[in-house]
Amino acid sequence: MARIAFIGLGNMGGPMAANLVKAGHEVTGFDLAAPVLKAAEETGVKPASHVSQAVAGAETVVTMLPQGKHVLTAWPDILASIPAATLVIDCSTIDVESARKAHAMAKAAGCLSLDAPVSGGTGGAAAGTLTFMAGGSQESFAKAKPILEAMGKKIVHCGEAGAGQAAKICNNMILGISMIGVCEAFVLAEKLGLSHQALFDVASTSSGQCWSINTYCPVPGPVPSSPANNAYKPGFAAALMLKDLRLSQEAALLSGASTPLGAEAAQLYALFEKQGNGGRDFSAIIEMFRSKV
Ligand code: NAD
């Protein structure tokens, strides 16, 4: 079993670190927020009072932080406190450029590194069923895999540095666009007098099928487990969808990719958030289309 340092023990990091403890690893954690650190302690994580204290003696360090700027602030402190050849894994969802900068910092310090963002939300983090999308060397991936397996059920090596973040934002751009498409179709069906169930029965088994309708249907009824049946409690909050769509648009701008629907989806989710809906599930955007955008 490994000695692991876990930095960032929030909504995702907390349950992920708890699963590492359950798998028999010795986990030392640090978070800037004292109540978050206390909650992690209750799951068996040893609390540290500073990043350097958390990573001392660790064979692997995992970070789970809000944005690229937080990762680029935390990693220099981490890298200054660990010996060469230690593995540092960042599981946060951040921009590809920052992820590549973090890899470059690790390389300069002689350390192994992996970007490994996740899909599956807080439910998947608690259940240990996350999907990890990893970018980095074969050596880093091979060393990280058994650790990631304690927190997830599918671990995909997507390529070199930054490839995990690239896969994550491309996937979530598809998700944002497809959810808007499905919502528009249900609103049109309502205007045409077509029932939700009838549209679902046809589209979920025809060429309109996708995760946004088959698994996460934005109207109550057809898929009982979707957030639409629970007053749009997240699930996946609209603010996080907006964050990922913005990351996709930053990447599109920097790489010269044409993503007109991604750009439109980002604008629509920005408007939805501005109307006070950032904390609701992202499928609640159907309500915005009912009231005409
Ligand atoms: P969160 O805000 O709940 O947790 C982040 C934690 O990082 C906070 O507790 C904060 O105090 C801590 N932190 C910030 N800077 C720090 C530093 N320098 N040192 C130590 N701790 C620091 O966020 P979250 O929901 O756990 O999300 C974390 C990442 O996972 C984000 O990048 C998010 O986009 C991604 N993600 C979230 C979800 C989700 O459903 N919540 C799903 C997939 C991916």
CA distance 289 to 272: 10
CA torsion sign, 118 to 122 to 124 to 126? positive
Q: State the catalytic residues.
A: 168
If one residue of 6, 9, 12 were mutated to test the ligand 1 pocket, choosing by the most ligand atoms within 8 A of its CB, it would be 12
pLDDT at 187: 98
CATH top class, domain 166-290: mainly alpha
List the end-to-end C-alpha distance of the chain, in Å, as a whole number: 54
- Cα(125) to ligand 1 centroid in Å equals 12
Smallest Cα–Cα separation from 75: which of 37, 47, 114? 114
Q: Say what the pLDDT of residue 41 is.
A: 98
- Residue ranges per structural domain of the chain: 3-160, 166-290
- The confidence score (pLDDT) of residue 186 equals 98
Beta-bridged to residue 60, according to DSSP, are 4, 87
Nearest CA to ligand 1 atom 12: 8
Atom of ligand 1 nearest to the CA of 244: 34
User: What distance in angstroms lies between residue 193's CA and the mean position of ligand 1's atoms?
Assistant: 43
| ipTM given for this complex | 0.99
Mutate to test the pocket of ligand 1, among 49, 50, 51, 64 (most ligand atoms within 8 A of CB): 64
Q: Which atom of ligand 1 is nearest to the CA of 122?
A: 40
Ligand 1 binding pocket, CB closer than 6 Å:
7-13, 30-33, 36, 64-66, 70, 73-74, 92-93, 118, 121-122, 236, 240, 243
C-alpha distance from residue 237 to each of 21, 47, 172, 264, 279 (Å): 27, 29, 13, 18, 5
Could you tell me the distance, in angstroms and rounded to a whole number, from the CA of residue 32 to the centre of ligand 1?
A: 11
3.20.20.70, 3.40.50.720, 3.40.640.10, 2.40.40.20: CATH of 3-160: 3.40.50.720
Question: Three-class SS of residue 154?
Answer: strand
Helix (H) or strand (E) holding 218: none
Q: Which of 6, 7, 9, 31 most suits a substitution to test ligand 1, by most atoms within 8 Å of the C-beta?
A: 31
**How far is residue 37's CA from residue 59's CA, in Å, rounded to a whole number?**
21
One digit per residue, pLDDT tens: the chain, 293 residues? 899 999 999 989 999 999 999 999 999 999 999 999 999 999 999 999 999 999 999 999 999 999 999 999 999 999 999 999 999 999 999 999 999 999 999 999 999 999 999 998 888 999 999 999 999 999 999 999 999 999 999 999 999 999 999 999 999 999 999 999 999 999 999 999 999 999 999 999 999 999 999 999 999 999 999 999 999 998 899 999 999 999 999 999 999 999 999 999 999 999 999 999 999 999 999 999 999 77
Q: What atom of ligand 1 comes closest to residue 73's alpha carbon?
A: 18
DSSP assignment of 264-275, as one string?
A: HHHHHHHHHIII
Q: Residue whose CA is closest, atom 20 of ligand 1?
A: 31
Q: Which atom of ligand 1 lies at the shortest distance from residue 93's CA? A: 32
Cα 90 to Cα 116: distance, rounded to the nearest angstrom: 6
Q: Provide the whole-model pTM.
A: 0.94
Asked if the domains 3-160 and 166-290 are classified in one and the same CATH topology, the answer is: no
Q: What pLDDT sits at residue 235?
A: 87
DSSP string of 33-98?
SHHHHHHHHTTTPEE-SSHHHHHTT-SEEEE--SSHHHHHHHHHHHHHTS-TT-EEEE-S---HHH
User: Which residue's alpha carbon is nearest to atom 42 within ligand 1?
Assistant: 121
